[in-house]
């Protein structure tokens, strides 16, 4: 079983920003991180008021589905810089397979959003917060 590297903390990883390395990460890796960040954001947004776990779970799942992520990307697209739009294109073009239940265009848009979120999480968390706030506005 793989283990985490000893002595590496989340805080240390976030403080030692190696922007050159972040810029070379594949869109698939950025989407992998972005998926986790987006789900945590949505879970946090639905945290209050307290409710049954099943209700909470259903609301979160509805928001992190590919269809909802594609709509979220469409909502924030007017706010994106050219560099961010390029990153979204890279994320879209990296998709090679798609779940059968989804149209490829929807899955590509969802992956694009996750790629953007992953990149901004690692490179510019303040910008990420701006875009996430635009989603709830």
pLDDT tens, position by position, 35-83 = 999 999 999 988 888 889 999 899 999 999 999 999 999 999 999 999 9
User: Is-catalytic flag, 35?
Assistant: yes
Looking at residue 120, its pLDDT comes to 94
Q: Are 32 and 118 in contact (CB under 8 A)?
A: yes
Question: What average pLDDT does this structure show over 93-117?
Answer: 91
More reliable by pLDDT, 137 or 50: 50
Active-site entry in 35, 55, 86, 124: 35
Domains along the sequence of the chain with CATH: 24-136 (1.10.1520.10)
Looking at residue 15, its pLDDT comes to 58
């Amino acid at each position: 079983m793989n283990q985490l590297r000893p002595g590496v903390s989340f805080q240390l990883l976030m403080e030692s920003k190696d922007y050159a390395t972040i810029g070379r990460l594949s869109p698939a890796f950025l989407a992998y991180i972005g998926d986790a960040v987006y789900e945590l954001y949505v879970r946090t947004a639905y945290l209050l008021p307290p409710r049954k776990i099943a209700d909470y779970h259903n609301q979160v799942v509805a928001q992190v589905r590919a269809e909802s992520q594609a709509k979220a990307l469409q909502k924030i697209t007017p706010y994106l810089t050219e560099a961010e739009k390029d990153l979204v294109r890279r994320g879209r073009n990296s998709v090679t397979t798609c779940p059968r239940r989804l149209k490829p265009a929807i899955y590509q848009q969802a992956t694009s959003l996750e790629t953007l979120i992953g990149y901004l999480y690692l490179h510019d968390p303040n910008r990420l917060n701006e875009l996430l706030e635009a989603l709830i506005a």
